Amino acid sequence: MQIAIINGPNLNLLGTREPEIYGSLTFEQYFEALKSKFPQVIFHYYQSNVEGELINEIQRVGFDFDGIVLNPAGYTHTSVALGDCIAAIKTPVIEVHISNIHAREEFRKISLVSAKCNGTIAGLGLIGYELATRYFLNK
């Protein structure tokens, strides 16, 4: 079982970025705990602040991995190209948001990727990545 975790812009700053919204763990710290919870899973982690690089990575893993856990971050609300990319690949995608995007500014309530994904998890904090992993394991 190979799962790709792909994080979009500014998620490299988790731990120091608005901790009241995103928490105080770095993704690297959380990722170590996640890997130890699922020793049977081969995880691949990728983060970029660049839209085209995220698309390249989704295309790279999107035909032979078993699942993609994608937090498109700010591109969620703006990127037609990311939505098109998810529609074009074969690997199922779960969209994850750490914060509850429906309880924040109006512009965050719109996702241009949700309709192309198998499902969306929002507002549960970093545990959303674990729940998405469990979805792929139970599939």
Measured between alpha carbons, how far is 122 from 52 in angstroms, rounded to an integer? 24
Nearest C-alpha neighbor of 68 from the set 51, 85, 80:
85
Active site residue 97: yes
Given the residues 30, 46, 77, 97, the one annotated as active site:
97
Residues 62-81 that bind ligand DHK (CB under 6 A): 71, 73-74, 76
The nearer residue to ligand DHK, 42 or 110, going by C-beta atoms, is 110
Nearest C-alpha neighbor of 63 from the set 45, 35, 39, 85:
85
Residue 52 exposure: Cα atoms within 13 Å on the Cβ side: 0
Least distance from ligand DHK to the Cβ atom of residue 64, Å: 26
The nearer residue to ligand DHK, 62 or 128, going by C-beta atoms, is 128
Number of Cβ within a 10 Å radius of residue 72: 29
Residues 98-127 that bind ligand DHK (CB under 6 A): 98-99, 101, 108
Sheet holding 2-7, edge to edge: 42-47, 2-7, 67-71, 93-97, 119-122
Determine the interface stretch with ligand DHK among 31-39, 41-49, 91-99, 112-120 (rule: CB under 6 A).
91-99
The nearer residue to ligand DHK, 73 or 94, going by C-beta atoms, is 73
Residues that bind ligand DHK (CB under 6 A): 10, 71, 73-74, 76, 97-99, 101, 108
Catalytic residues: 22, 97
